[in-house]
Amino acid sequence: MEYIFHITILISIYGILALAQNLVMGSAGLLTIAGAAFYGIGAYTAAILATAFGFNIFTTLIIAPIVAGLIALGIGISFARFRDDYFLLATLGFLMIFNTVVRNWENVTGGSFGIAGIPKPHIFSLTFDTPFSFLVLALIVLFIVIGICYFISRSSFGRVLNAIREDEDALKIFGYKTSTYKLMVFVIGAMLSSLGGVLLASYITFIDANLFTVNESILLWAMIILGGIAKNRGALLGALLLITIPEALRFFGFPNEIAGLMRQCIYGLLLVFLMLYRPKGILGQYKL
């Protein structure tokens, strides 16, 4: 049963990350590979505040989105002139800078040793230290994120994001300052991603830079493309499938190290297959 809880916690965390990625990339069409960086910013903010300053993880669930949001605001303003593949390359550059900083800023991030001993969340006398209790917390955060994503996608703001994805130049003519919309959704996406990072840090109690590489961002891409771009349900389905399918490999008797490599192959093959035969994904109605 604990294994089921563990998998469901991972699905919840990746569900949050996929929803955030979908908001930025699926709804607004911003090709970003910085998802893992904001996820990492959330994780490191929680880890540093909890281990070095004794903050409760619940408090970091509030502080981490603020930190990630402010960084995203700076990055978004700096990258405002970039579009499409230029924006993609710029966000890749940001992810590489983030990864290099956390690998080398040993005093703060622990460098390549990472940060261990990240506490579980606790409130009053209740500590979320069992898989079940942590699952409840992860699901609560997931449902909050789902609520935010649906709130945005059903608003006029969400419709404008879709129009930006379709034809930003045409939309501008109708009186929209699209750069503000893009900046806002980039910041909101970063804030939501950071929540996934906080949960991950507290759940596995140890983080290092290897968790927040370009592979993680590609995994998030694969999730939203598989599930269906610009669909919140699609992002959740993508997270569900891409967490459970590789786990299933364990039952085919693959050793852990082979299963890990197979997982990367599966993500890559799925992306190629989907681009060829189902660019809109399983539940999607849109293609990039």
Partner 1 sequence: MKNILETKELIKSFGGVHAVDHLSVNIQEGQITGLVGPNGSGKTTLINLLSGFSLHDGGSVFFGGAERKKITPWENQIYNITRTFQQIKLFDQMSVLDNILVIITERNPFLALFERHSKYHISQAEDILKQVDLFEKRFHNAGELSYGQKKLLEIGRVLAMDTKIILFDEPFAGLFPEIIKKIENIIKALKQEGKTIVLVEHNMNIIRNLCDHLIVMDAGKLLAEGHPEKVLTERVVLEAYLGE
Closer residue to partner 1, CB minimum distance, 118 or 171: 171
> For tokens 């370009």, what's the residue?
214
Closer residue to partner 1, CB minimum distance, 134 or 286: 286
> In this structure, what token pair is assigned to residue 202?
């507290």
Distances from the Cα of 161 to the Cα of 41, 158, 252, angstroms: 25, 5, 43
CA distance 288 to 279: 8
Give the shortest CB-219-to-partner 1 separation in angstroms: 25
Give the max Cα distance, the chain.
Answer: 59
Closer residue to partner 1, CB minimum distance, 170 or 269: 170
Give the shortest CB-19-to-partner 1 separation in angstroms: 17
- Within 10 angstroms of residue 107's Cβ, the number of other Cβ atoms is 6
CA distance 73 to 195: 17
> Which residues here bind partner 1, judged by CB under 8 A?
152, 154-157, 159-160, 162-163, 165-167, 169-178, 180-181, 184, 285-287
Closer residue to partner 1, CB minimum distance, 106 or 166: 166
* 184 DSSP 8-state letter: H
Closer residue to partner 1, CB minimum distance, 160 or 236: 160
Closer residue to partner 1, CB minimum distance, 82 or 176: 176
> For tokens 């994120």, what's the residue?
145
**Which H or E run contains 83?**
none
CA distance 214 to 43: 16
- Strands (DSSP E) contained in 181-253 are 206-207
